[in-house]
Amino acid sequence: MSGQKTLVIYFSRADENYGVGVVEQGSTELLAKAIVARTGADEFKIEPVEKYPANYQAAIERATAERNSDARPEYIGDVDITNYDTIFFGYPIWWGDLPMCVYNFIEKHDWNGKTVIPFNTHEGSGNSGTYETLKDTMLGATLIGDGFNVAGSVARTDDGIKRLDDFLSSLGR
């Protein structure tokens, strides 16, 4: 894949979360930064205009309301993905699905011809079928690899980073 331009796009929430306590950096962001460090890719973080509450329970309540209303929360700024061939795409599992602001990002972009490598964190649900959802929503994209998923609590350990390195090696990155 040398000579191709690579971008890492991700959504991640810091502060209080299940299984990790209060963290300054979300677990998906930690993986995204590691991918950037290893590949030299550019990065774009999907940052909701209205920040999620730091309190876990309050964040859960907002995420539930957004899901129930099929909301498309706005995010800050944007990135022109036409400049990139390969896109690592990362997110946490929320209610067995993609967070709604991630749907918003996907729907605002043209995925035709892109090579997409999904990665996600969770606390038990694996990828929860979201790679199929990406195939259905990123029209014209080719998803490669079987994706990479790891529990957020594991992503924060040496073992999690070793697993990520093995995954990148398997892709020749």
Ligand X SMILES: Cc1cc2nc3c(=O)[nH]c(=O)nc-3n(C[C@H](O)[C@H](O)[C@H](O)COP(=O)(O)O)c2cc1C
Q: Of 85 and 95, which has the nearer Cβ to ligand X?
A: 95
Q: How far apart (Å, rounded) are the C-alpha atoms in residues 131 and 45?
A: 19
Q: Of 60 and 71, which has the nearer Cβ to ligand X?
A: 60
Q: Taking the complex as a whole, how short is the minimal distance between the CB of residue 131 and ligand X, in angstroms?
A: 15
Q: Taking the complex as a whole, how short is the minimal distance between the CB of residue 32 and ligand X, in angstroms?
A: 9
Q: Taking the complex as a whole, how short is the minimal distance between the CB of residue 46 and ligand X, in angstroms?
A: 11
Closest residue to ligand X: CB criterion: 152
Q: How far apart (Å, rounded) are the C-alpha atoms in residues 6 and 116?
A: 10
Q: Taking the complex as a whole, how short is the minimal distance between the CB of residue 6 and ligand X, in angstroms?
A: 20
Q: Of 45 and 114, which has the nearer Cβ to ligand X?
A: 45
Q: Which residues bind ligand X (CB under 6 A)?
A: 12-13, 17-18, 26-29, 59-60, 63, 92-96, 121-125, 152
Nearest 5°: CA angle at 99, between 67 and 49? 95
Hey, what are 113's tokens?
């011809």
Residue type, 142: T
Q: How far apart (Å, rounded) are the C-alpha atoms in residues 63 and 112?
A: 29
Q: How far apart (Å, rounded) are the C-alpha atoms in residues 96 and 78?
A: 26
Those residues with Cβ within 8 angstroms of residue 98's Cβ, 6 or more apart along the chain or in another chain:
91, 106, 130, 133, 134
Q: Of 95 and 135, which has the nearer Cβ to ligand X?
A: 95
- H/E run at residue 6: strand 6-10
Q: Of 85 and 126, which has the nearer Cβ to ligand X?
A: 126
Q: Taking the complex as a whole, how short is the minimal distance between the CB of residue 86 and ligand X, in angstroms?
A: 21
